[in-house]
């Protein structure tokens, strides 16, 4: 029987030695197996647990390493290496209290030993970084909080609380993919971790997935009924969901003023949720458009685009609103931006039309110059020219100042241009289609006096007893 015990002890030692060889070769998985076999053969040997603990540490499994070293110390409370590893594991896990306790116990055994000098220094730095991270989080300075979390994780790479605080900051800084990766990794290791479930909920909530976000907040509260952050976010998510759905229903049923109130209320719930708020602004823009509040509708589209510059619906709606209000330059800019996002034939045609309207808006408005509507007949155009030509003919202003004479000459010339184009069906059609005056195949320097002379003097109610119509020096006007 004693011989059997000796053989088992010898075999266990042999397994430990094989494990040591693999450890030295950095084959940690293989070393782990040999150490485990040694422990199975001799479960009351503290050193075997200590060796396997070191192996777990090299694999980054600090929790298993800490469990092994605690077992080793239970077996031998004078096991110095055990306290060293306990301090290192506790520090790696971000357990400030556990690290401090391990250091104190080690120094009680050997006060002059400096093996944990680095850990003592790092423990102080970790405390400082944790305190700074918490202070920055409380001030909502998430970017600086993230910096302190990263600094802390260099000392405590296995700290789950620190990782989750980092993930929460990432989510609040809209770096959802990174936040999600951290949360899911922790959930895979511990599916009941309420903080990890909460952070995963944040990434969903802020990515316009209210339903799933809400479910995660509720699940976090199942794991921890007193989770304050999950309670707050569940309330916000529920309110946003209800307000958005209510506003949509009111809009569908034509209750636009009520919908306007509901969407406005929803926008006050969580300024941090940019994705949802951009959609709420867009929905409110549609309501304002229905109510005829076009400027407010444009402002809402702009607010939506500030939150999401690639929001195609808001961009197209604002382009249409600018077009309706004849802000063609702004309309063109929006359609150009929309085409960059989605090069559809429809958008290209809308852009082309907006550009045409912009070009037309920058030309002289011949209809306005003659004072006639766009559907005016040839006779109406002729009568309008006669009436205005009488008013602005330079001979009518022979006694005016030089400046006034130049102004009347300019208006008289514009009347000639307008009449030349609008009295010719072909030119009028091309003008209405957006062509410039220079496109009509004749000089823009139209002689207004030549056009004027085409009308018989009797048409104007005065005669020309002598002299030239173009200079007006011998004109006699007969106004009735």
Q: How would you write the chain as a 3-class SS string?
A: CHHHHHHHHHHHHHHHHHHHHHHHCCCHHHHHHHHHHHHHHCCCCHHHHHHHHHHHHHCCCHHHHHHHHHHHHHHCCCCHHHHHHHHHHHHHCCCHHHHHHHHHHHHHHCCCCCCCHHHHHHHHHHHHHHHHHHHHHHCCCHHHHHHHHHHHHHHCCCCHHHHHHHHHHHHHCCCHHHHHHHHHHHHHHCCCCHHHHHHHHHHHHCCCCHHHHHHHHHHHHHHCCCCHHHHHHHHHHHHHHHHHHHHHHHHHCCCHHHHHHHHHHHCCCCCCCHHHHHHHHHHHHHHHHHCCCHHHHHHHHHHHHHHCCCCHHHHHHHHHHHHHCCCHHHHHHHHHHHHHHCCCHHHHHHHHHHHHHHHHHHCCCHHHHHCCCCCCCHHHHHHHHHHHHHHHCHHHHCCCCHHHHHHHHHHHHHHHHHHHHHCCHHHHHHHHCCCCHHHHCCCCCCCHHHHHHCCCHHHHCCECCCCCCCCCCCCECCCC
- First-to-last CA distance in the chain? 145
Q: Given this model, what pLDDT does residue 458 score?
A: 46
Q: Average pLDDT for residues 373-391, to the nearest whole number?
A: 81
Q: Give the span between the Cα atoms of 86 and 106, in whole angstroms.
A: 10
Q: Give the span between the Cα atoms of 42 and 14, in whole angstroms.
A: 11
Of the candidate ranges 57-66, 325-334, 355-364, the one whose mean pLDDT is the lowest: 355-364
Q: Give the span between the Cα atoms of 115 and 109, in whole angstroms.
A: 12
pLDDT band of 387, cuts 50, 70, 90: confident
Q: Given this model, what pLDDT does residue 459 score?
A: 47
| Cross-strand bridge partners of residue 476 | 463
pLDDT digits (tens, 9 = 90+) for 208-230: 899 999 999 999 999 999 999 99
| Cross-strand bridge partners of residue 339 | none
Q: Average pLDDT for residues 235-251, to the nearest whole number?
A: 95
Structure tokens at 101: 């306790």
**Residue burial 322-345, b: 16+ Cβ < 10 Å; e: rest:** bbeeebbebbbbbbebbeeeeeee
Q: Is residue 287 packed enough to be buried (19+ CB in 10 Å), middle (13-18) or exposed (0-12)? A: buried
Q: Which domains does the chain have, with CATH numbers?
A: 1-116 (1.25.40.10), 125-236 (1.25.40.10), 309-363 (no CATH), 369-433+445-455 (1.10.287.110)
65 and 57 Cβ atoms separated by less than 8 Å: yes
Q: How many residues does the chain have?
A: 480
Around 292, how many Cα atoms within 13 Å sit in the side-chain half-sphere? 0
pLDDT digits (tens, 9 = 90+) for 115-136: 999 999 999 999 999 999 999 9
User: Is residue 339's pLDDT more than 60?
Assistant: yes
pLDDT digits (tens, 9 = 90+) for 37-87: 999 999 999 999 999 999 999 999 999 999 999 999 999 999 999 999 999
pLDDT band of 409, cuts 50, 70, 90: confident
Q: Give the span between the Cα atoms of 8 and 267, in whole angstroms.
A: 73
User: Is residue 471's pLDDT more than 50?
Assistant: no
Q: Given this model, what pLDDT does residue 276 score?
A: 93
Nearest C-alpha neighbor of 246 from the set 261, 268, 231: 261
pLDDT digits (tens, 9 = 90+) for 3-50: 555 688 889 999 999 999 999 999 999 999 999 999 999 999 999 999
| Phi, psi torsion values for 463, nearest 5 degrees | -110, 175
69 and 82 Cβ atoms separated by less than 8 Å: yes
99 and 70 Cβ atoms separated by less than 8 Å: no
pLDDT band of 479, cuts 50, 70, 90: very low
Higher pLDDT, 310 or 455: 310
Q: Given this model, what pLDDT does residue 389 score?
A: 75
Around 155, how many Cα atoms within 13 Å sit in the side-chain half-sphere? 25
pLDDT band of 175, cuts 50, 70, 90: very high
- The chain-wide mean pLDDT, for the chain, equals 87
pLDDT digits (tens, 9 = 90+) for 287-329: 999 999 999 999 999 999 999 999 999 999 999 999 999 899 9
Higher pLDDT, 423 or 35: 35
| Phi, psi torsion values for 43, nearest 5 degrees | -70, -5
Cβ neighbour number for residue 224 with a 10 Å cutoff: 16
| Cross-strand bridge partners of residue 446 | none
| Phi, psi torsion values for 62, nearest 5 degrees | -70, -30
Question: Which residues, other chains included, contact 164 with Cβ-Cβ below 8 Å and sequence gap of 6+?
Answer: 182, 183, 186, 193, 195, 196, 199
């Amino acid at each position: 029987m004693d011989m059997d015990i000796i053989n088992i002890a010898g075999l266990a030692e042999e397994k430990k030695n094989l494990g040591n060889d693999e450890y030295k070769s950095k084959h940690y998985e293989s070393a782990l197996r040999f150490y485990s076999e040694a422990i199975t053969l001799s479960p009351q040997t503290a050193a075997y647990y200590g060796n396997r603990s070191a192996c777990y540490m090299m694999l980054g499994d600090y929790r298993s390493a800490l469990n092994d070293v605690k077992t080793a110390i239970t077996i031998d409370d004078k096991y110095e290496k055990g306290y060293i590893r306990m301090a290192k594991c506790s520090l790696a896990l971000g357990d400030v209290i556990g690290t401090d306790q391990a250091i104190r116990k080690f120094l009680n055994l050997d006060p002059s030993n400096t093996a944990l000098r680095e850990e003592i220094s790092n423990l102080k730095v970790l405390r400082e970084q944790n305190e700074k991270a918490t202070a920055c989080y409380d001030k909502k300075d998430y970017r600086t909080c993230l910096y302190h979390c990263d600094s802390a994780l260099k000392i405590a790479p296995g700290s789950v609380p620190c990782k989750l605080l980092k993930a929460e900051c990432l989510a609040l800084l809209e770096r959802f993919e990174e936040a999600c990766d951290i949360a899911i990794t922790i959930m895979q290791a511990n599916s009941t971790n309420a903080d990890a479930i909460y952070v995963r909920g944040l990434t969903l909530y802020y990515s316009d997935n209210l339903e799933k976000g809400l479910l995660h907040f509720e699940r976090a509260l199942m794991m921890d009924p007193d989770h304050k952050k999950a309670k707050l976010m569940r309330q916000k998510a529920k309110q946003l969901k209800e307000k958005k759905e209510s506003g949509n229903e009111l809009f569908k049923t034509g209750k636009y003023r009520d919908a306007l109130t509901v969407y406005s209320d929803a926008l006050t719930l969580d300024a941090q949720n940019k994705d949802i708020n951009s959609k709420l602004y867009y929905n409110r823009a549609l309501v304002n458009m229905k109510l005829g509040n076009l400027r407010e509708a444009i402002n809402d589209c702009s607010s939506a685009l500030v939150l999401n510059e690639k929001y195609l619906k808001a961009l197209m709606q604002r382009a249409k609103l600018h077009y309706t209000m004849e802000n063609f330059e702004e309309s063109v800019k929006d359609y150009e931006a929309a085409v960059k996002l989605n090069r559809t034939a429809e958008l290209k045609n809308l852009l082309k039309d907006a550009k045409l309207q912009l070009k037309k808006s920058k030309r002289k408005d011949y209809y306005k110059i003659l004072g006639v509507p766009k559907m005016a007949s040839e006779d109406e155009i002729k009568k309008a020219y006669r009436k205005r030509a009488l008013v602005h003919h330079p001979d009518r202003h022979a006694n005016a100042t030089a400046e006034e004479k130049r102004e009347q000459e300019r208006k008289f010339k514009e009347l000639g241009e307008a009449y030349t184009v609008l009295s010719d069906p072909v030119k009028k059609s091309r003008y209405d289609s957006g062509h410039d005056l220079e496109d009509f195949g004749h000089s823009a320097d139209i002689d207004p006096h030549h056009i004027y002379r085409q009308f018989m003097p009797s048409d104007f109610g005065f005669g020309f007893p002598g002299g030239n119509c173009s200079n007006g020096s011998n004109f006699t006007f007969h106004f009735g």
